[in-house]
A and B are shown apart, each in its own frame.
With several copies, the nearest count.
Chain A
Amino acid sequence: MSYSSEEVRVWLSKCAARMIASSAELNALDAKLGDGDLGATLEKCGELMQVAMTDHRDTPSDHFKACAMACSRASGSSFGTLMAVAFMTIAKETVGRDKIEACEVVDYIDTVNKALLSRGRSNLGDKTALDSLEAIRAEIAARGVSTNLHEIAHQAAVKAIKDFRGLPNKIGRARMFADKSIGLEDPGMVAVLRIIGPALSE
């Protein structure tokens, strides 16, 4: 199974729409532990991505690069930059190819997450969006690539939030309130879930 440039464009467009739609919820979550701008950041990223995704491009890589540019313009907040880094990383990984193979997704997520850990100087277990990505990667790796990639990712993202809720935040603004963060959902982890979108059964 593989994804064409056009399929990637449509998928990114839908992600963008979901980012915009979850703005209020994510602002509220970030307000508890950070500066309350996570929703605004995703909204701005989403808007710029939607505009960028109206153009049809030859390769998935071109679309990812355009999204990277969009996110690097959107905001100075962490999540926007992390998205920009993620998109830029995958754009580089896939450069020159006209489609993406589903079986490579696990490797891409791994590469992206390594880039993000290095850029953000954080570690797995710090209770961030990157723990969600890692959970998704691990789950896909364990269960194998299938047509229900989306379902697998969704379940993994839900479980990650639950698994980390009781732990303290160890990086970012929320680290300032590490004690307070125990028992609360990390806003960035919830953002990952929202970007993936609802389970098909929901």
Chain B
Amino acid sequence: MKKLFNNPNDYADETLEGMCLAFPNHYARSGETGRVITRQGVGEQGKVGIVTGGGSGHLPVFAGYCGSGMIDACAVGNVFAGPSVADCMDAIKAANGGAGVLRLYGNYGGDRMNFDMAGEMLELEGIETTTVLTADDVASAGPEEAEKRRGVAGMVYAFKIAGAAAKAGANLAEVTAIAQKAADSCRTIGVALTPCSVPEVGKPTFEIGEDEIEMGMGIHGEPGIWRGALASADEIAQEMTERVATELDLQAGDRVSVLVNSLGATPHEELFILYRVVARFLAEQNVSIVTPLVGRFATSMEMTGASISMFKLDNELEGFLNAPTDCPFWSPA
């Protein structure tokens, strides 16, 4: 494991410390443990709050997406581990401006358990909460079991849409509904080439042959659809594009945003090589691409690989997608 850190147990905390030192006008640590990140101006009275949370090791997901017009507060776990119930509670409390709080996070059993319990405990304190789970990873279960799917890179669309809606003054039911629409409008698939190492564990999260890739692998190394020989970028991108597009039932004239995301080590050069294939595929179907995102949005530290997401837009979603935000990580590339 060749990584730059100090004590493995401090990896998550020192990451947050540095992030808040670098961007003190955007992020602050809060909560009893310092494991809650809040945006500048969090807890605005009358605005619906949005919280998310999950493990460390996926920056900008999750904490990086705190910002005006994005997430209000984020509960942060250790690398690839969920946040504690207490941190989830602290995040919800911080985000609360009296208009209720949406819990918006990826569909992972542990996170769900913790956010659910945190929400229940806070309902006793009179904070109204709702939940939207992102579950965009088409490789993690069939469409008939879509509720079992994991949330991966596509969650950033839900963050952006819900955050913009809340900023625009929507109430809790409205923010929840549009967040759910955003979650439902997005599909993603990933491909992994090499693993990363969790500092506390000290060895790679999975083993894979020198010429092998795994199609559909999850951002913590969860098993995918197939393992096989490394093929050309165009072949890989073609399969990914088709798997993602099929489920969105795209029609000529539709508008989508495309997210080509690096899992970490895969460079921008290669994301652009993949992007060509997606662009060509959609152009052939007369589907237009709006606001593409190409870069590192949801990573697994130094994992090599990429994911492709499509986000089907309507006027409402497109408006919120392009609404301004001051999040340091919200950039198209």
The smallest C-beta distance from B94 to any residue of chain A, in angstroms, reads 16
Residues of A within 8 A of B114 (CB): 76, 81
In this assembly, does A130 line the interface, its C-beta being within 8 Å of a C-beta of chain B?
A: no
Q: In the complex, which range does the number of interface residues on chain A fall in?
A: 20 to 34
- The reply to whether A72 and B117 form a contact with Cβ atoms under 8 Å apart is yes
The answer to whether B116 touches A84 (Cβ under 8 A) is no
CA distance A154 to B84 in the complex (A): 29
Q: Does A123 lie at the interface of the complex (its beta carbon under 8 Å from any beta carbon of B)?
A: no
Q: Report if A75 contacts B (CB, 8 A).
A: yes
Cβ A84 vs Cβ B117 within 8 A:
yes
* Residues of A157-176 whose CB lies within 8 A of B: 171-172, 176
User: What CA separation (Å) do A34 and B222 show in the bound complex?
Assistant: 11
B204 proximal to A (CB < 8 A): no
| In the complex, A35 has a CB within 8 A of chain B | yes
Which residues 186-221 in B have Cβ within 8 Å of A in the complex? Answer: 198, 200-201
Of B73-81, B173-181, B274-282, the one with at least 4 CB within 8 A of chain A: B73-81
Report chain A residues within 8 Å CB of B111.
76
Q: Which of A74, A77, A85 is close to B110, meaning CB atoms less than 8 Å apart? A: A77
Known contacts A73-B86, A77-B81: does B201 contact A120 (CB below 8 Å)? Answer: no
Given A36-B201, A119-B117, A76-B84 contact (CB < 8 Å): yes
Q: Inside 8 A of A82's CB, which chain B residues have their CB?
A: 113
Chain B window 95-120, contacts with chain A (Cβ cutoff 8 Å), 1 for yes, 0 for no: 00000000000000111111011000
Q: A72-B86, A76-B82 are in contact. Are A81 and B223 (CB under 8 A)?
A: no
CB-CB under 8 A from B55, the residues of chain A are 76
Task: Report whether over half of chain A's contact residues are helix, strand or loop; otherwise say mixed.
Answer: helix
CB distance from B121 to the nearest CB of A (A): 8
| Most A C-beta atoms less than 10 A away, residue of B32, B85, B200, B201 | B85
Q: Do residues B113 and A120 form an inter-chain contact, with CB atoms below 8 A?
A: yes
Nearest CB on A from B103, distance (A) = 14
Flag whether A20 is at the interface (Cβ < 8 A).
no
Quote the shortest CB–CB distance from A45 to chain B (angstroms). 10
Is residue A47 contacting chain B, with contact meaning CB distance below 8 A?
no
Say if the beta carbon of A94 comes within 8 Å of chain B. no
User: Scoring A residues 120 to 138 as 1 if CB is less than 8 Å from chain B, else 0, what string do you get?
Assistant: 1100000000000000000
0/1 string, A76-120, CB within 8 A of B gives 1: 111011101100100000000000000000000000000000011
In the complex, A35→B89 CA distance in Å? 24
Pick the contact of A76: B78, B121, B200, B222 (CB < 8 A): B78
How far apart sit A10 and B92, CA to CA, in the bound complex (Å)? 34
Residue of A nearest to B205 (CB): A35
16 additional contacts (CB under 8 A) given A40-B200, A73-B86: A31-B201, A72-B84, A72-B89, A73-B85, A74-B84, A75-B84, A76-B55, A76-B81, A76-B85, A76-B87, A77-B81, A78-B110, A81-B84, A81-B114, A119-B116, A176-B223
B interface residues with partner A (beta carbon < 8 Å):
32-33, 55, 77-78, 80-87, 89, 109-114, 116-117, 121, 198, 200-201, 222-223
Could you write out 22 A-B pairs with CB less than 8 Å apart? A35-B201, A36-B200, A36-B201, A69-B86, A72-B84, A73-B85, A75-B81, A76-B55, A76-B78, A76-B82, A76-B83, A76-B84, A76-B85, A78-B109, A78-B113, A81-B110, A81-B113, A119-B116, A120-B109, A121-B109, A121-B112, A172-B109
